């Protein structure tokens, strides 16, 4: 069975990998505070965007072919959700999520495009 090694992060430690809906791209987050959209067939970075400031873990998910959502931490350990346009490398929306510092548990409903974010130990779900 063939193996493919994708090495486009240089020194950055990869924290998260997610595929797009049709399997043609992956998005990764790394400790260098960047999300990279990669074409795994060509082993090249297609888009790169700066994300949350904190060096803690961060997750990224495709919302569409041109937008990603990131879930991580801002400076001061405030939990943060961001939406980015990967073609223009711009942040479309960022919001800090109130509450404790528990882990955020995201779920993307690909049919509706809604990103649900629950927090471990919390009785609420953010949409």
Tens of pLDDT, residues 31-78: 888 889 999 888 889 998 888 776 677 889 998 889 999 888 777 777
Say if CB 35 and CB 60 are below 8 A apart.
Answer: yes
How long is the chain?
Answer: 127
- pLDDT more than 90, % of the chain: 15
Grouping H, G, I as helix, E, B as strand and the rest as coil, residue 56 is: coil
Average of per-residue pLDDT across 82-103:
82
pTM for this model (two decimals):
0.80
Residue 11 above 70 pLDDT? no
The Cα 79–Cα 97 span in angstroms is: 5
Beta bridge partners of 21: none
The Cα 5–Cα 126 span in angstroms is: 36
| Residue 20 CA: distances (Å) to CA of 43, 60, 63, 98 | 16, 11, 8, 29
The Cα 21–Cα 25 span in angstroms is: 9
Tell which wins on pLDDT, 72 or 9.
Answer: 72
């Amino acid at each position: 069975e063939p193996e493919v090694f994708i090495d486009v992060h240089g020194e950055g430690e990869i924290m998260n990998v997610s595929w797009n809906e049709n399997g043609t791209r992956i998005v990764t987050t790394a400790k260098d505070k960047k999300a990279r959209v990669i074409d795994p067939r060509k082993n090249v970075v297609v888009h790169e965007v700066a994300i949350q400031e904190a060096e803690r873990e961060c997750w990224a998910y495709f919302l569409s072919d041109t937008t990603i959502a990131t879930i991580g931490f801002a400076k001061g350990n405030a939990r943060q959700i961001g939406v980015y346009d990967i073609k223009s490398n711009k942040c479309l929306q960022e919001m800090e999520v109130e509450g404790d510092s528990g882990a955020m548990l995201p779920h993307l409903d690909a049919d509706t495009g809604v990103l649900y974010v629950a927090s471990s130990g919390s009785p609420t779900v953010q949409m």
